[in-house]
Amino acid sequence: MTTRGSLALVISFVGFVSIALPLDRSSTSQQQLALSLLAWVFLGIALVLQPPAIRVQVLVLVFVATVLECVGSLIWGAYTYRLDNLPLYVPAGHGLFYLSALRAASLPVLQRHARAVVIAATAGATAWMLYGLFARPLPDLLGFVTWAIFIRFVVRGRYPLLYAVSFAMTTALELYGTGLGIWTWSPVLPVLMLPAGNPPTGIGAGYAAMDALTRRIVARIERRVRREPVVAEAA
């Protein structure tokens, strides 16, 4: 995809989220289904324009994110959506978010200043985490834990620019979504009894972890696909 195409995708995603989430603020379940359909259509169109490898990567991420959403929200109760469900636009939203982060991180202007972007994101994440620890009724310990995960990926991971971009994007989205009341984090995580902010300050690390898991799954799929023709010929 060209630089112009990547920029258009990112802007379109930001515009879609800016409109869709306020609409969902007071939507019925039927109206939410309409928003979900639009999100899936948007994702489908966006994926058609991508190389096959990126399509597979994004679809695997959608699967991973959906499983984690079901566990985190519906089973664990770490956070809940407004209608106590998992909106069907959420899996599509994860795909659009991830694709937008991939494309944003590929923009030449960010590539040229990758080190500065990563340093700025890390400094901002650290300041935000410290604010969560000391400026709330309860210390945001989940924010601290997830911040530590983010630092680990930035220091030792293969794609620090992507992690920095996705952290910034996730933080903005979480502040927007929780501010509108679309979803709400539990002040204390069930079972773990870990205090958490709304949103947790380090939650942007989630996409770094999901990216790593997604790439590992995709690599396994590719290895299996490469082996199958060899097995067939031997038979």
Q: What is the pLDDT of residues 159-211, one digit of tens each?
A: 999 999 999 999 999 999 999 999 999 999 999 999 999 999 999 999 999 99
pLDDT band for position 227 (50/70/90)? confident
Mean of the pLDDT values across residues 152-159? 97
pLDDT reported for residue 78: 98
pLDDT reported for residue 136: 76
**Any idea where the domains of the chain sit in the sequence?**
3-234
pLDDT band for position 1 (50/70/90)? confident
Cis before 199 (ω within 30)? yes
| Tokens 């991508």 found at | 50
Exposed / middle / buried, residue 103 (Cβ in 10 Å: 0-12, 13-18, 19+): buried
pLDDT band for position 82 (50/70/90)? very high
Residue 4 to residue 133: CA distance in whole angstroms: 40
pLDDT reported for residue 231: 47
pLDDT reported for residue 235: 43
pLDDT reported for residue 165: 99
Q: What is the pLDDT of residues 42-68, one digit of tens each?
A: 999 999 999 999 999 999 999 999 999
Instruction: For the chain, give the secondary structure using H, E and C.
Output: CCHHHHHHHHHHHHHHHHHHHHHHCCCCHHHHHHHHHHHHHHHHHHHHCCCHHHHHHHHHHHHHHHHHHHHHHHHCCCEEECCCCCCCHHHHHHHHHHHHHHHHHCCHHHHHCHHHHHHHHHHHHHHHHHHHHHCCCCCCHHHHHHHHHHHHHHHHCCCHHHHHHHHHHHHHHHHHHHHHCCEEECCECCCCCCECCCCCCCCCHHHHHHHHHHHHHHHHHHHHHHHHHHHHHHC
The pLDDT of residue 232 is above 70: no
Q: To the nearest whole number, what is the mean pLDDT of the chain?
A: 95
Percentage of the chain modeled with pLDDT above 70: 97
pLDDT band for position 135 (50/70/90)? confident
pLDDT reported for residue 234: 45
Is the pTM for the entire model greater than 0.85? yes
pLDDT reported for residue 229: 60
Closest CA to 64 of 228, 235, 216, 233: 216
